[in-house]
Amino acid sequence: MKEKTSRHIILASTSPRRQELIAKLGLPFDIIPSDANEDTPFGWEPRKIVETLALRKADTVYRNLVEPDVNAIIVGSDTIVVLEGNILGKPSDDADAVRMLSLLQGRVHEVYTGVACIDVLTGQCIVRYRMTKVNMKPLNDDQIISYVRSGEPRGKAGAYAIQGLGASIVESIEGDYFNVVGLPVSLLSDMLSEMGMHVLS
């Protein structure tokens, strides 16, 4: 168990994928779900959506900390899938997942992830985003239904997970792979360095 004074990360997310990626940095971290409201006004640009929600998640945890003097950096993140300007969030059910995948198949879409870091001791805040283009394979109805039946699309933006079985339906990507998984690790490490927490030290 780490000492209270040690510098660490607080991940404002229950996402197993983000937890796995944070763990790969080799830095001590805790998990505190934000439970922040994820509604945004209609018409916002993708960048504004993911940056706003990432900050909202981190800020919610920041304001609700039991120990407001803890030596930590809170990390919030949000990911959306965008197809020709239309935002595809998490599918509401399997039928919705089929609908989303039918739209995405054989086409290029964009994945935006926003990242927010808040230094608990100083209040310093950094918010950034990254975008990756994903080219999905042409799929027939049977392939889409089979993938949806695997259960993997549930709870995933755009109804697929590139790090799982979803890798079999992606033709190629242009940009950061980990951004599509849900946390651009390279970007996050740069942000942490600006706050004095270095991954490679």
Instruction: Report how many domains make up the chain.
Output: 1
Is residue 1 scored above 60 in pLDDT?
no
Is 65 a member of any domain?
Answer: yes
Each residue of 126-183: pLDDT tens digit? 999 999 999 999 999 999 999 999 999 999 999 999 999 999 999 999 999 999 999 9
Amino acid symbol at 165: L
Phi/psi at 196 (5° precision): 85, 15
How far are the Cα atoms of 130, 138, 147, 151 from residue 194, in angstroms, in the given order?
17, 42, 41, 39
pLDDT at 36: 85
Stretch (H or E) spanning 28: none
Each residue of 68-117: pLDDT tens digit? 788 999 999 999 999 999 999 899 999 999 999 999 999 999 999 999 99
What is the separation of C-alpha 152 from the centre of its chain, rounded to a whole number of angstroms?
16
pLDDT at 4: 43
- CATH (domain of 33): 3.90.950.10
> In this structure, is the dihedral angle defined by the CA atoms of residues 119, 198, 32 and 22, taken in order, positive or negative?
positive
List the domain range (segments joined by +) for residue 129.
8-194
pLDDT at 79: 93
* Higher per-residue pLDDT: 44 or 36: 44
Pure H helices in the chain: 16-24, 46-63, 94-104, 141-149, 177-181, 185-194
How many angstroms separate the CA atoms of 184 and 129, rounded?
9
pLDDT at 93: 96
What is the residue whose two structure tokens read 């590139």?
A: 162
5 pLDDT band, cuts 50/70/90, is low
Contact of 179 with 73, CB cutoff 8 Å: no
Residues recognised as catalytic:
78
How many angstroms separate the CA atoms of 115 and 129, rounded?
6
Q: pTM for this structure?
A: 0.92
pLDDT at 200: 85
Is residue 10 scored above 70 in pLDDT?
yes
Is 66 a member of any domain?
Answer: yes
Angle between helices 94-104 and 141-149 (to 10 degrees): 140
Is 79 a member of any domain?
Answer: yes
Q: If you average pLDDT over residues 38-49, what whole number do you get?
A: 90
Is 162 a member of any domain?
Answer: yes
How many angstroms separate the CA atoms of 5 and 174, rounded?
41
